Amino acid sequence: MFKAVLFDLDGTLIDTNNLILESYKHTFKKHLDYIPNDNEIVKYFGEPLKITLSRFDSERIEEMYRTYVEYNEMNHDSMVKEMDYARETLEELKSKGILLGVVTSKRRIMAERGLRLFNLLDYFDVVITPEDTVKHKPDPEPILKACEKLKFEPKDVLFVGDSNFDILCGKNAGAKTCLVKYTMLDLEELLKFEPDFVIEDLRDILEFFKAP
């Protein structure tokens, strides 16, 4: 049995997919006069915002970043929703005494805003954001930082996410990895990264904690 479960946030616990896509499109239209298709953006889901922006224009990162943040914050609450079964899964895990954490590439102010919006923040014993580490997914540092705060070894932790960045971050840290099938990314491509587990929805996590 795992002693703790760590979750990615966007696309795993909270459905921010449309908000993220529209934020990028608004930003690229304004600064580059270009609107990428969804697949061009989705493949970078899970990495820090400035890294993704630099892939499209490394010289205008800061101005694009400000535009993205302004649009994203203005539209956040009306364009996001809780993922199916997130609350009941967290509630059940917490009732079993399992420590819970979020490991996200999202800025802390917005990560906590999203969790508070759906009254999920209090379920978590730790929230790791890009402000907490020097390196970010797929580097293992975010998960190692979470494990340090929870006082568990990575081998005792399950990391649940929806992207290749999540799978690699977990594997690089020595944690077990769990991929959600409802990801927006290409599932067949993600399976090539060999997550330890693949689940249909969040309720399937509870199977790991059933009494023998």
Residues marked as catalytic: 8
Query: What is the number of alpha carbons within 13 Å of residue 192 lying toward its C-beta?
Result: 4
Return the H-helix or E-strand segment holding 158: strand 157-161
Q: Phi and psi of 153, rounded to 5°?
A: -80, 145
Burial class of residue 144 in the structure, from the number of CB atoms within 10 Å of its CB (0-12 exposed, 13-18 middle, 19+ buried) = buried
C-alpha atoms less than 13 angstroms from C-alpha of 128 in its C-beta half-sphere: 24
Residue 156 neighbours by CB under 8 Å, 6+ apart = 2, 3, 4
Write the single-letter amino acid at 124.
F
Residue 27, helix vs strand vs coil? helix
- Tokens linked to 147: 């494990």
**How far, in Å, CA of 24 to CA of 78, rounded?**
17
